[in-house]
Amino acid sequence: MSDNTLPPSAPARPHVKARKARISLVWLVPIVAGVIGLSMVIHDFLNVGPKVVVSFLTAEGLEAKKTQVKYKNVVIGTVTDIALSDDRTHILATIELNQSATPFTRADTQYWVVRPRIGAHGVSGVDTLLSGAFISADAGSSDKTEKNFTGLETPPPVTFGERGKRFILHTDDLGSLDIGSPVYFRRIQVGQVVAYELAKDGKGVDIEIFISSPNDEFVLTDSRFWNASGVDVSLGAAGLKVSTQSLTSIISGGIAFREPNYSPDAKPAEGNAEFKLFDDQASALAPPDGEPKYIRMRFNQSLRGLVVNAPVDFLGVNVGRVVSVDLDYDPATGSFPGVVGAVIYPQRLGAANDKLRQQAGGGDEEEQTSRIIGRFVERGLRAQVRTGNLLTGQLYVAMDFDPKAPKIAYNAKARPLEVPTVGGSFDKLQEQLQAFVDKLGKIPLDDLAKNLNGSLIELQKTMKQVNGEVLPQMRGTLQQAQKTLGSANDTFADDSPARQQLGQAMEEVQRTARSVRVLTDFLSRHPESLIRGRSGDAAPGSYKGSSSSREIAPEPVQ
Amino acid sequence: MNGIPFAREHKVTLCHVCSYVCAEDDEACPRCESAVHPRKPDSLRRTWAFLLAGLIFYIPANTLPVMFTTLLGSSSENTIMSGVIEFAEGGSWDIAILIFIASVLVPCIKFLVLGMLLVTCQRRSQWAMRERSRLYRFIELIGYWSMLDVLVVALVAALVQFRGLSTIEPRLGILFFGLVVVMTMFAAMSFDPRLIWDAEVEDVR
């Protein structure tokens, strides 16, 4: 086409022939199209990731070919198909994962549906209100891969790869704790409950908690955990004190932990370390009790008010608690003594326990304890039931040294250890009350009453007299006084003649005083007039005092 | 046939641009200097090439999504056919049929007709020649109407951009669809309808 410079004659034909033989450039177009198409097919083929099937209880919010699978909000796959399982108890969602999402086929991968949720722990998944639910995934670390997964119904509390440590807590029962319940350290949430299960023997619950980094290093080897659920109300000398961890923990329960005030060589605990979960902070932070020792006491008195868990005091220190209150029968006396079983924790005696053990010498712990208590009994150790609260009649067991107590043979071999007793303080109180009542009974109440009766009659007579005679007279007198006051009132009324006369008299007195002043002035100027009589120019009437503030009348009126 | 001689018999040929009668041997029109040839050069081969390219592009154009719609957080990708089905299921039969005709039927007809024309020309078939050339005119006429889809997507993607509420974005499929339309138009352009009638006479070239 571009050869228009050539002569148009002969060579044109062979030239056209040559062009025909060549492969036309136009074939590049379909070739390029084919290459593009092929490359896309290959790209797609390479990008097709693994397929997994996840079962859920319900397909609520899921849509085939629309619902996405996300990890950290990055789309890693799509639900391609939703079908019912064979037994129709759940649904099977087929998920096509991206090529890059191969780790999500690991056997311990977790899948769950993100829907809007409102619970005691807060609100989550609000964004899905508009966008619709999606499936969230969390890759595991297992080496094995899996094709079929069971989807979680609730989001897992801890995502894979989150740094932190897991710990196991042992407790008697779960209480109000649940998965997701917060774990507090100094009232700051640092972790949560991730799992719980019954202990292997069924005698307790193992709770798994997760403390996220960096707060996990605050869990020390001697940290104490306690159940921080609900409200703790205590009435003390400082008044009523209400203490909670947080509003959430009131509703949904929670766990708190901290180390005891004195923990000299505590190291950060290893992951999966096991701890005991206490019921409350006070018992959690109490020093460890150590091994309990079982003792038994016989009381020849009513044990009404002594209940299981009542404290056992030793010199005022709470060393244990009552575990059983039973009746026994003594055929010799025909009486029913009460048998009280109690556990004591020798470690609660602290330093005293250590020293006693050193002194007690060899033998196993049981023998040591027996020997120590034997020595105490020799020195007068006696158990006594005392009243802890007069209002409710609660009793507790107190162990004190009573040097005057009669000697009692101590059986060191008896198990459980037997601690001798003395009568309770309440018994003594009752005796004293009885004596007091007896004394009261001896008072001659009848005579007293007779005398009192006579006196009362006398008093009544006097009162009658007063009423009959004195009161009428009093009345007359009062009327008289009233009259007098009335006339006095009349006398001093504004328009009464007496008042007018009084006014006039006062004016008279005023005038008299004025003339006396004039006279004294005159006399002070003319003392000689006393002897010589009044001179003509010095008449008192002509005197005009310059210093006087008042105009003095020249001559008396009237 | 009816007495009027063919241009070839007079050793002349017509300029495609200014319709000037040139000598048969002329490479360029003496008047407007555009290239001159008795028939469009390499017509059948070029048409075949463009047709094949169009066919290849037609596959991704239909399998890949053409549009990405986000409406209040729920997003979806639609291919042409899924869009048609969605409209049909939604009750808008008219729109569904319109899209179906413009986007699916027209390209298909173009492929079929062009393919048929090419085959018959190569076999020098004398069957229904007048109808075949009418078909060719029809193909040329409807060719650019297939661009409708591309325009709709471009327009909608530009207009619907309410961040957060709803957005529409074009996807790769619409590019291939546009390429299909362009390729079929090229194919139709490079086809010389006079080849239909050359079956009656000796090959021109």
Are A252 and A354 in the same domain?
Answer: no
Q: Does B49 touch chain A (CB under 8 A)?
A: yes
Q: What is the mean pLDDT of residues B148-153?
A: 84
Instruction: Calculate the dihedral angle through the C-alpha atoms of A95, A99, A100, A104, rounding to the nearest 10 degrees.
Output: 40
Of the candidates A421, A382, A235, A389, the one whose C-alpha atom is nearest the C-alpha of residue A306 is A389
CB proximity list for A136: less than 8 A, separation 6 or greater: A69, A70, A71, A111, A112, A113, A114, A155
DSSP character at residue A445: H
Residue B60's closest chain A neighbor by CA?
A37
Answer yes or no: do A130 and B74 touch at CB < 8 A.
Answer: yes
Q: What pLDDT is recorded for position A158?
A: 72
| Neighboring chain A residues of B179 at a CB cutoff of 8 Å | 33
For chain A, report the end-to-end CA distance as a whole number of angstroms: 167
Q: What pLDDT is recorded for position B202?
A: 62
> Chain B closest CA to A27's CA: distance in Å?
5
CB A79 within 8 A of CB A64: yes
| Neighboring chain B residues of A40 at a CB cutoff of 8 Å | 60
**Into how many domains does chain A fold?**
4
> Chain A closest CA to B142's CA: distance in Å?
23
Answer yes or no: do A33 and B41 touch at CB < 8 A.
Answer: no
Pairs of residues, one from chain A and one from chain B, whose beta carbons lie less than 8 Å apart: 65
- Measured distance CA(A306)–CA(A304) in Å, rounded: 6
Residue by residue, DSSP assigns A460-500 as HHHHHHIIIIIHHHHHHHHHHHHHHHHHHHHHTSTT-HHHH
Answer yes or no: do A26 and B35 touch at CB < 8 A.
Answer: no
- Domain assignment present for residue A487? The answer is no
For chain B, report the end-to-end CA distance as a whole number of angstroms: 20
- Domain assignment present for residue A454? The answer is no
Answer yes or no: do B27 and A8 touch at CB < 8 A.
Answer: yes
Q: What pLDDT is recorded for position B3?
A: 66
Q: Does B59 touch chain A (CB under 8 A)?
A: yes
Are A87 and A146 in the same domain?
Answer: yes
Answer yes or no: do A30 and B56 touch at CB < 8 A.
Answer: yes
H runs (alpha helix) in A397-442 = 425-442
Answer yes or no: do B35 and A1 touch at CB < 8 A.
Answer: yes
- Measured distance CA(A529)–CA(A537) in Å, rounded: 12
Q: Where are the beta strands (DSSP E) in chain B?
A: 12-14, 21-23, 67-71, 74-78, 161-162, 166-170
Which residue range(s) make up the domain with A558? 492-558
Q: What pLDDT is recorded for position A120?
A: 63
Answer yes or no: do A37 and B56 touch at CB < 8 A.
Answer: yes
| Chain A residues 458-497 with CB within 8 Å of chain B | none
Residue A64's closest chain B neighbor by CA?
B76
Q: What is the mean pLDDT of residues B190-200?
A: 83
What is the identity of the amino acid at A513? A
> Chain A closest CA to B24's CA: distance in Å?
10
| Neighboring chain A residues of B42 at a CB cutoff of 8 Å | 24, 26
Q: Does B28 touch chain A (CB under 8 A)?
A: yes
CB proximity list for A408: less than 8 A, separation 6 or greater: A377, A420
Of the candidates B182, B52, B191, B18, the one whose C-alpha atom is nearest the C-alpha of residue A37 is B52
Q: Does A316 touch chain B (CB under 8 A)?
A: no
Q: Where are the beta strands (DSSP E) in B47-185?
A: 67-71, 74-78, 161-162, 166-170
- Which residue among A285, A319, A338 closes a domain? A285
- Which residue among A150, A176, A211 closes a domain? A150
- Domain assignment present for residue A475? The answer is no
| Neighboring chain A residues of B76 at a CB cutoff of 8 Å | 66
Answer yes or no: do A26 and B59 touch at CB < 8 A.
Answer: no
pLDDT (tens digit per residue) in B91-111? 888 988 988 888 888 889 999
CA distances to A202, A523, A555 from A511, in Å: 123, 18, 11
What is the identity of the amino acid at B68? F
Q: Which among A8, A34, A40 has the least Cβ separation from residue B26? A: A8
CB A278 within 8 A of CB A284: yes
Task: Report the 10 Å Cβ neighbour count for A153.
Answer: 10
Percent pLDDT > 70 in chain B is: 95
| Neighboring chain A residues of B45 at a CB cutoff of 8 Å | 24, 26-27
The more confidently predicted of residues B115 and A232 is B115
Are A347 and A385 in the same domain?
Answer: yes
> Chain A closest CA to B2's CA: distance in Å?
31
CA distances to A63, A114, B83, B169 from B91, in Å: 21, 32, 12, 24
pLDDT (tens digit per residue) in A237-248? 667 777 776 777
- Measured distance CA(A46)–CA(A43) in Å, rounded: 5
User: Which is it for strands A338-344 and A293-299: parallel, antiparallel or unpaired?
Assistant: antiparallel
> Chain B closest CA to A131's CA: distance in Å?
4
Structure tokens at A394: 């609660």
- Which residue among A116, A150, A184 closes a domain? A150
> Chain B closest CA to A5's CA: distance in Å?
9
Peptide bond into B193 cis (omega under 30): no
The pLDDT mean for chain B works out to 84
DSSP character at residue A206: E
Answer yes or no: do A8 and B46 touch at CB < 8 A.
Answer: no
CB-based contacts of A375-380 (< 8 A; 24+ apart in sequence): A376/A401, A377/A408, A377/A410, A377/A419, A377/A420, A378/A407, A378/A410, A379/A403, A380/A404, A380/A405
Q: What pLDDT is recorded for position A106?
A: 87
> Chain B closest CA to A4's CA: distance in Å?
6
ipTM strictly over 0.90? no
Answer yes or no: do B52 and A33 touch at CB < 8 A.
Answer: yes
Per-residue burial over A192-205, b if 16 or more Cβ lie within 10 Å, else e, is bbbebeeeeeeebb
Q: What pLDDT is recorded for position A238?
A: 66
Answer yes or no: do B183 and A29 touch at CB < 8 A.
Answer: yes
Dihedrals φ, ψ of A294, to 5°?
A: -100, 130
Mutate which: B56, B62, B78, B171, vs A, most A CBs within 10 A? B56
> Chain A closest CA to B35's CA: distance in Å?
7
Are A359 and A313 in the same domain?
Answer: yes
| Neighboring chain A residues of B50 at a CB cutoff of 8 Å | 26, 29-30
Q: Which among A8, A33, A36 has the least Cβ separation from residue B25? A: A8
Tokens 């759940």, located at residue:
A90
Q: List, for chain A, all residue ranges whose pLDDT scores fall below the cut of 70.
A: 1-22, 119-122, 230, 234-238, 245, 390, 424-428, 536-558
Q: Which among B26, B42, B60 has the least Cβ separation from residue A40? A: B60
What is the identity of the amino acid at A19? R
Tokens 């999402």, located at residue:
A101
> Chain A closest CA to B52's CA: distance in Å?
6
Q: Which among B54, B72, B183 has the least Cβ separation from residue A130? A: B72
User: Which is it for strands A48-56 and A91-98: parallel, antiparallel or unpaired?
Assistant: antiparallel
CB A62 within 8 A of CB A93: yes
Answer yes or no: do B183 and A33 touch at CB < 8 A.
Answer: yes
Are A139 and A85 in the same domain?
Answer: yes
Q: What is the mean pLDDT of residues B164-192?
A: 87
Class of domain B41-200: mainly alpha
Q: Which among B35, B60, B76 has the least Cβ separation from residue A66? A: B76
Residue by residue, DSSP assigns A14-25 as HHHHHHHHSPPG
Answer yes or no: do B49 and A27 touch at CB < 8 A.
Answer: yes
pLDDT (tens digit per residue) in B58-87? 988 888 888 888 777 667 788 888 888 988
Are A298 and A420 in the same domain?
Answer: yes
Of the candidates A84, A135, A81, the one whose C-alpha atom is nearest the C-alpha of residue A113 is A135
Are A280 and A178 in the same domain?
Answer: yes
What is the separation of C-alpha A543 from the centre of its chain, rounded to a whole number of angstroms?
101
Mutate which: A29, A40, A48, vs B, most B CBs within 10 A? A29
Q: Which among B23, B25, B56 has the least Cβ separation from residue A33? A: B56
Structure tokens at A557: 């009126």
Are A168 and A230 in the same domain?
Answer: yes
Answer yes or no: do B56 and A3 touch at CB < 8 A.
Answer: no
DSSP-based three-state secondary structure for A132:
coil
Are A85 and A117 in the same domain?
Answer: yes
> Chain A closest CA to B196's CA: distance in Å?
21
Q: Is A131 exposed, middle or buried (0-12, 13-18, 19+ CB in 10 A)?
A: middle
Q: At what angle do helices B172-190 and A28-47 cross, to 10 degrees?
A: 160
CB proximity list for A60: less than 8 A, separation 6 or greater: A113, A115, A133
